[in-house]
A and B are shown apart, each in its own frame.
Chain A
Amino acid sequence: MRYRMPTVTIDGRPFDAEVGETILDVARRNGIWIPTLCHHAALEPYAACRICVVEIDRGGWWQVVTSCNYPVRRDITVRVESERAQRARRGVMQLLLARCPESPELADLARRMGVEATPYPKVTEAQRNCILCGLCVRVCEERIGSAAISLAGRGADRAVAAPFRLASEDCIGCGACAAVCPVGTIVVRTHEDAGEVEISPFKSRVKLRRCAQCGEILGSELVRRALGARGGPTVVEILAGGDLCPRCRRAKQARELAAAVPAGAGSGTASDRCG
């Protein structure tokens, strides 16, 4: 039998799909919006936030599944906008709003889903304004390789924390956790006076590296070391421009170029172009 791509029919529209893709992959590729919170294209699906649930036809009954990790293996019929699927997603959002009433990002997503408010009081708070999606934990482990933070505690007491809830020794201060946090709870703070970068709320602090010339902050000292260990010095040097900030690096390159090119060879001087 010839191989035929499975068809994923979403709200009545058929789409081709590859075996092994998720329902969310197919939907996104075809411009269908399904809200997500704990999903990130660079990370393994986790399916913990449950905000991406849709209905699928199980032959006589409809099952609510998470679209971010439901694998396409054969033809599937999916309902994204059905009443039940919407009610389920909104119900989950209401629970999250009760937990994190202060996050503007979450409120924005809620509004986009048609949820204006939550009927629930705030009853769980092991960590301020955190939806426990686990993206920070997973990016730190899967991508950065540090595993500086992890999910500690159980149930309502669950929280993201470094071991013993102390500042982590494994944190390299890269800020990837802050970059993926969908509700703006994790923040990178620079403490210029101490010359340190802090990943809040984990209290981890790492020495800052500064531009050798102008003293501008380049980022965490340990990130450079980690990158060096991973990619080799050449890649690092190219990407980071040695010990210089981007502006000083450009100026240095301009000076070197000006020195290398004989005067009058071009239509102007290097300094004309680069300023």
Chain B
Amino acid sequence: MGTVATKLESAETLAEYRAAARERAARIDRVVRVCCGPGCIPKGAREVYERFVEAAGELADGGVAVEPKLTGCQGLCQRGPIVTVDPGGIFYQGVKADDVPEIWRTTVVGGRVVERLLYEDEQTGVKAQTAAEIPFYRGHHRIALALCGVVDARSVDDYIAAGGYEGLAKVLTAMTPDGVIEELTKSGLRGRGGGGFPTGRKWRSARNAPGEPKYVIANGDEGDPGAFMDRALMEGVPHAVIEGMVIGGYAIGSSDGYIYVRDEYPIAVERLRDAVGQARELGLLGEDILGSGHSFDIRINRGGGAFVCGESTALMASLEGRVGEPRAKYIHTIESGLKGKPSLLNNVETWANVPQIVLKGADWFASFGTEKSKGTKVFSLVGKVTNTGLVEVPMGMTLREIIYGIGGGIPGGKAFKAVQTGGPSGGCIPAECLDEPVDFDRLTELGSMMGSGGMIVMDEDTCMVNVARYFVHFLKDESCGKCTPCREGVAQMLEILTRITKGEGRQGDVEALEGLGTLLEDTALCALGKTAAHPVLSTVRRFRDEYEAHIKEKRCPAKECPGLFRYQIDAEACRACGICLKKCPVEAITGAKKTAHVIDLEKCTNCGTCFEVCPFSAVLKV
């Protein structure tokens, strides 16, 4: 990619480098952006990209200069792989490798649109030619993801041409460390990893903390089920994270940076490593960056495969090569963190916001969001929602706007039941709260939390007791086992929840769960344990009737827990085809030609085979 790197010795040489990169970009007639984000890669996006590269190679002398770009996540994962063609911003979805020749002929060379690959609204049937016409993209405002999906994820030249490292140049030439911290404080940025602690205040404490050296760390150990915000950022705009960290190092007086990346994100590891290498070659990392006297370098550390390593003290223990277990934070990591030295740890998304804030100013950033939650937040919208994908919206947008406006509502005509936010530490928010604004404080008041930005939508077929059981099971597996309440208490909670979902719940089980919840909150060592009961407590609070139905009536209202509902054949709908009769493994179904079939409940084992095989949806859950 790009030219042979030369060390950029000043902000001016960086500006010249940028101008040269832009000039090269201006000579390109067509840019084809192939989304190779977390959602598109498994659907074959890389092959699509490679086909475009081959085509571009063959056509090198054809007169039209085409540049295929491998980009990070472009957002609408549900319809991936996504390909956009500039000029015009033609938006293609569901692109297969075999579609490439047609896109090439028609759009890249011919300048016309391939109708069949356009986004089509499921309800109205209206086709959209560009992203801006698609409801999913309305209301988006990209700050952290500003260049994700736009620039080639592997190219530092692309990042620089798009304005990358301009924030860093501004900081190093025109701002004092205190000035940077003030700007950040004024912006109102709060930690995007889940805690929501004011970033400026954290940086101030880190700057004031006595002790040398100081460390700057990026937490890329994203592990919440359904969350891929940080993965998208690290894969799509690794340089934004790096740029933010160099600025952080300047502000607090540190020259040592670490990025702790989840090892299950091999593409992120590779991108970050390459990006660090590129930045070093250009002198954007290393000694005397842009001639400012500020030196800073970054090491990439791959995580050890434990969810708890996303916790600050466990992360630092893991960085030191020890077992990733948390310790007490009575003395904060800002004072005594990595190797006992002052350490500034921020989430990947927080870091990615920093260059934009210093470049465009605190006031600009603070113009988005609510009173106490400024800016935007990246969410991964998943679950029972029509349009799953990566969303970045201003804080304060309502859940309804996100789930129905952007997400397109619940598929299959089902009713919305709840949205789970905040990962295993968060909670479930019910339908009556859909018009609540999404910000740090409001979500906490609703009994959930912002967390790192996972948003799992659930419909009427989702059993809330089972949801709680799922998260508690996850946490039982991920508890490090160091402290008693988390190791033993979470296992006890799982025992009770499993019992309830099997129809063996007892009177007093809900109260026992609440008691364990309080105990964990009071006595567990780290945040994993302290919040481990949140999925339980929030579902008890909002869906107590479902718990009661399981325990008292041995009935699962969502008809999800096996054994807590029955299968019945609707005599009206049954066409007596005999399929269920043949497939039933215990011969519980009787019937004859032209006679509606019947399930013998004495023999039925609730395996669900008849429900799955019936071609007429005549088997009902009751």
B378: min CB distance to chain A, Å: 30
Q: Are A158 and B525 in contact (CB under 8 A)?
A: no
B29-37, B195-203, B487-495 - interface stretch = B487-495
> Which residues of A sit under 8 angstroms from B476, Cβ to Cβ?
155-156
B205: min CB distance to chain A, Å: 15
Interface residues of B in 451-488 (CB under 8 A from A): 476-485, 487-488
A188 at the interface (CB under 8 A from B): no
Interface residues of A in 229-246 (CB under 8 A from B): none
B26 at the interface (CB under 8 A from A): no
A83: min CB distance to chain B, Å: 12
Q: Are A65 and B330 in contact (CB under 8 A)?
A: yes
Q: Are B479 and A69 in contact (CB under 8 A)?
A: no
Q: Are A84 and B522 in contact (CB under 8 A)?
A: yes
Q: Are B478 and A95 in contact (CB under 8 A)?
A: no
A88 at the interface (CB under 8 A from B): yes
Q: Are A50 and B328 in contact (CB under 8 A)?
A: no
B330: min CB distance to chain A, Å: 5
Q: Are B487 and A156 in contact (CB under 8 A)?
A: yes
User: Assuming the A-B contacts A84-B522, A92-B523, are A123 and B492 also in contact, with contact meaning beta carbons closer than 8 angstroms in the complex?
Assistant: yes
Q: Are B306 and A154 in contact (CB under 8 A)?
A: yes
User: Assuming the A-B contacts A53-B523, A92-B519, are A47 and B484 also in contact, with contact meaning beta carbons closer than 8 angstroms in the complex?
Assistant: no
CA distance A48 to B306 in the complex (A): 19
Q: Are A95 and B489 in contact (CB under 8 A)?
A: yes
Interface residues of A in 144-201 (CB under 8 A from B): 151, 153-158
B331 at the interface (CB under 8 A from A): yes
Q: Are A47 and B525 in contact (CB under 8 A)?
A: yes
Q: Are A50 and B479 in contact (CB under 8 A)?
A: no
B515 at the interface (CB under 8 A from A): yes
> Which residues of B sit under 8 angstroms from A66, Cβ to Cβ?
328
Q: Are A123 and B491 in contact (CB under 8 A)?
A: yes
A101 at the interface (CB under 8 A from B): no
CA distance A123 to B492 in the complex (A): 7
Q: Are A119 and B512 in contact (CB under 8 A)?
A: yes
Q: Which of B479, B481, B482, B488 contacts A95 (CB 8 A)?
A: B488
CA distance A189 to B481 in the complex (A): 29
CA distance A99 to B524 in the complex (A): 17
Interface residues of B in 295-354 (CB under 8 A from A): 306, 323, 327-328, 330-331
CA distance A87 to B494 in the complex (A): 22
> Which residues of B sit under 8 angstroms from A134, Cβ to Cβ?
482
Q: Which of B327, B487, B512 contacts A158 (CB 8 A)?
A: B487
User: Assuming the A-B contacts A47-B328, A47-B525, are A91 and B519 also in contact, with contact meaning beta carbons closer than 8 angstroms in the complex?
Assistant: yes
CA distance A66 to B524 in the complex (A): 10
A211 at the interface (CB under 8 A from B): no
CA distance A180 to B525 in the complex (A): 23
> Which residues of B sit under 8 angstroms from A154, Cβ to Cβ?
306, 477-481
A110 at the interface (CB under 8 A from B): no
Q: Mark B490-504, 1 if CB is under 8 A from A, else 0.
A: 111011000000000
| Beta-carbon nearest neighbor of B479 in chain A | A155
User: Assuming the A-B contacts A95-B492, A154-B306, A156-B491, are A48 and B482 also in contact, with contact meaning beta carbons closer than 8 angstroms in the complex?
Assistant: yes
- Counting chain A CB atoms within 10 Å of each CB, the highest count among B327, B331, B476, B483 belongs to B483
Q: Are A156 and B492 in contact (CB under 8 A)?
A: no
Q: Mark B520-537, 1 if CB is under 8 A from A, else 0.
A: 001111000000000000
> Which residues of A sit under 8 angstroms from B323, Cβ to Cβ?
151
CA distance A50 to B483 in the complex (A): 7
Q: Are A50 and B484 in contact (CB under 8 A)?
A: yes
Q: Are B487 and A124 in contact (CB under 8 A)?
A: yes
- Counting chain B CB atoms within 10 Å of each CB, the highest count among A65, A92, A158 belongs to A92
Q: Mark A46-82, 1 if CB is under 8 A from B, else 0.
A: 0111110100000000001110011100000000000
CA distance A151 to B494 in the complex (A): 23
Q: Are B488 and A124 in contact (CB under 8 A)?
A: yes
A223 at the interface (CB under 8 A from B): no
CA distance A88 to B330 in the complex (A): 19
Q: Are A120 and B481 in contact (CB under 8 A)?
A: no
User: Assuming the A-B contacts A124-B487, A154-B481, are A98 and B522 also in contact, with contact meaning beta carbons closer than 8 angstroms in the complex?
Assistant: no
The range of chain B's interface size is: 20 to 34
> Which residues of A sit under 8 angstroms from B484, Cβ to Cβ?
48-51, 92, 95-96, 131-132
Q: Are A155 and B328 in contact (CB under 8 A)?
A: no
> Which residues of A sit under 8 angstroms from B490, Cβ to Cβ?
155
A121 at the interface (CB under 8 A from B): yes
CA distance A154 to B484 in the complex (A): 13
- Counting chain A CB atoms within 10 Å of each CB, the highest count among B330, B491, B492, B523 belongs to B523
| Beta-carbon nearest neighbor of B330 in chain A | A70
Interface residues of A in 9-67 (CB under 8 A from B): 47-51, 53, 64-66
| Beta-carbon nearest neighbor of A150 in chain B | B323
Q: Which of A53, A131, A153, A156 contacts B522 (CB 8 A)?
A: A53
Interface residues of B in 276-309 (CB under 8 A from A): 306
CA distance A120 to B493 in the complex (A): 10
A103: min CB distance to chain B, Å: 14
CA distance A87 to B477 in the complex (A): 27
Q: Are B488 and A96 in contact (CB under 8 A)?
A: yes
| Beta-carbon nearest neighbor of B520 in chain A | A91
> Which residues of B sit under 8 angstroms from A151, Cβ to Cβ?
323, 481
B321: min CB distance to chain A, Å: 14
User: Assuming the A-B contacts A48-B483, A120-B492, A156-B481, are A91 and B328 also in contact, with contact meaning beta carbons closer than 8 angstroms in the complex?
Assistant: no
> Which residues of A sit under 8 angstroms from B523, Cβ to Cβ?
50, 53, 64, 88, 91-92
Q: Are A121 and B525 in contact (CB under 8 A)?
A: no
A168: min CB distance to chain B, Å: 18
Q: Which of B481, B485, B524 contacts A157 (CB 8 A)?
A: B481
A259: min CB distance to chain B, Å: 58
CA distance A167 to B515 in the complex (A): 41
| Beta-carbon nearest neighbor of B516 in chain A | A91
A44: min CB distance to chain B, Å: 10
> Which residues of A sit under 8 angstroms from B491, Cβ to Cβ?
123-124, 155-156
CA distance A87 to B330 in the complex (A): 22
Interface residues of A in 81-111 (CB under 8 A from B): 84, 87-88, 91-92, 95-96, 98-99
| Beta-carbon nearest neighbor of B477 in chain A | A155
Q: Are A123 and B495 in contact (CB under 8 A)?
A: yes
User: Assuming the A-B contacts A98-B488, A124-B487, are A50 and B481 also in contact, with contact meaning beta carbons closer than 8 angstroms in the complex?
Assistant: no
CA distance A135 to B328 in the complex (A): 17
> Which residues of B sit under 8 angstroms from A124, Cβ to Cβ?
487-488, 491
> Which residues of B sit under 8 angstroms from A131, Cβ to Cβ?
484
Q: Are A64 and B477 in contact (CB under 8 A)?
A: no
Q: Are B488 and A50 in contact (CB under 8 A)?
A: no
Q: Which of B331, B479, B515 contacts A91 (CB 8 A)?
A: B515
Write the residues of chain A forming the contact surface with B, with a CB cutoff of 8 angstroms. Answer: 47-51, 53, 64-66, 69-71, 84, 87-88, 91-92, 95-96, 98-99, 119-121, 123-124, 131-132, 134, 151, 153-158
Q: Can you report 14 residue pairs joining A to B where beta carbons are below 8 Å apart? A: A47-B327, A47-B525, A48-B482, A50-B523, A66-B328, A95-B485, A95-B492, A96-B484, A98-B488, A123-B495, A153-B481, A155-B481, A157-B481, A158-B481
Write the residues of chain B forming the contact surface with A, with a CB cutoff of 8 angstroms. Answer: 306, 323, 327-328, 330-331, 476-485, 487-492, 494-495, 512, 515-516, 519, 522-525
In the complex, the 9 A-B pairs of residues with the closest C-beta atoms, listed nearest first: A158-B481, A95-B488, A155-B479, A91-B519, A64-B522, A155-B481, A50-B523, A88-B522, A123-B491
With A98-B488, A158-B487 given, name 6 new contacts (CB 8 A).
A50-B485, A50-B523, A91-B516, A91-B519, A123-B495, A154-B478
